[in-house]
């Protein structure tokens, strides 16, 4: 299990080795990586809900304070992380099957999770934003609404693109496919994420 905690970090610098390890989809191996997968999807879900318009206005309602925002982020992050994990995993699995993959739905979900590490990492940006602007992040027209906020938005987009690149690399390595076939396999979940972000 310790190896999979290490791979959770290594996927950022040596993704091919991490995704190659996903080829072992035995129940024992899948069990060893289940806790890192849970942490990744929960943190990525928290990062997602913090980036929504809803989060940007939470403290406009005077019923919300810092503690309630933290609880909301944790619970909503777990919910949306779980929905994304299963929905994007299904999209990846379906695309893989259409392209000739014999891999399991579980492996597709785990691939989605490890590709989402940069999104989970974006919580570091939120911590920095809280240090700079405090609760203004959760108020309409707060201090983060200027050019500084735009820099953080650009960083979020860069991390999202990094995750998309990891997804393509993961599909290519796990299946041993060409780049073109890997792009085709990764396209449905990537398009689904893009649609959610745009909406």
Domain-located, residue 3: no
The per-residue pLDDT for 144 is 52
Domain-located, residue 10: no
Domain-located, residue 44: yes
Sign of CA dihedral 77, 196, 112, 126: negative
- pLDDT tops 60 at residue 78: yes
**In this structure, are residues 168 and 191 in contact, taking their beta carbons and an 8 Å threshold?**
no
- Domain tally for the chain? 1
Determine the average pLDDT of the residues in 176-187.
97
- pLDDT tops 80 at residue 30: yes
Domain-located, residue 43: yes
Domain-located, residue 2: no
The per-residue pLDDT for 33 is 96
Q: What is the pTM of this model?
A: 0.90
Q: Name which of 21-25, 110-114, 144-148, 182-186 the model is least confident about.
A: 144-148
Q: Residue 104 — pLDDT band, cuts 50, 70, 90?
A: very high
Determine the average pLDDT of the residues in 123-144.
76
Query: Which of 119, 157, 154 is CA-nearest to residue 43?
Result: 119
Domain-located, residue 122: yes
Average pLDDT score, the chain = 90
Determine the average pLDDT of the residues in 160-185.
97
Q: Residue 141 — pLDDT band, cuts 50, 70, 90?
A: low
The per-residue pLDDT for 146 is 52
Torsion of CA 134, 198, 39, 149, to 10 degrees: -20
Range of the domain at 82: 15-198
The per-residue pLDDT for 88 is 97
Domain-located, residue 175: yes
Can you list the pairs that 145-154 forms with residues at least 24 positions away whose Cβ atoms lie under 8 Å?
Answer: 152/125, 152/128
């Amino acid at each position: 299990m310790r190896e999979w905690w290490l791979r959770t970090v290594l996927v950022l610098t040596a993704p091919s080795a991490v995704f190659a390890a996903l080829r072992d989809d035995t129940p024992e191996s899948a069990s060893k990586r289940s806790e890192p997968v849970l942490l990744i999807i929960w943190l990525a879900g928290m990062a997602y809900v913090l980036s929504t318009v809803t989060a940007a206005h939470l403290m406009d309602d005077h019923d919300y304070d810092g503690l309630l925002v933290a609880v909301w982020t944790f619970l909503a992050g777990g919910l949306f992380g779980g929905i994304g994990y299963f929905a994007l995993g299904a999209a990846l699995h379906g695309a893989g099957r259409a392209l000739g993959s014999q891999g399991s739905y579980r492996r597709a979900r785990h691939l989605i999770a490890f590709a989402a590490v940069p999104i989970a990492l974006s919580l570091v940006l939120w911590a920095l934003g809280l240090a700079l602007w405090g609760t203004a992040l959760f108020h309409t027209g707060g201090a983060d609404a200027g050019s500084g906020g735009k820099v953080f938005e650009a960083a979020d987009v860069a991390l999202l693109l990094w995750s998309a690149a990891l997804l393509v690399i993961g599909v290519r390595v796990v299946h041993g496919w060409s780049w073109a076939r890997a792009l085709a396999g990764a396209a449905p979940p990537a398009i689904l994420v893009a649609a959610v972000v745009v909406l």
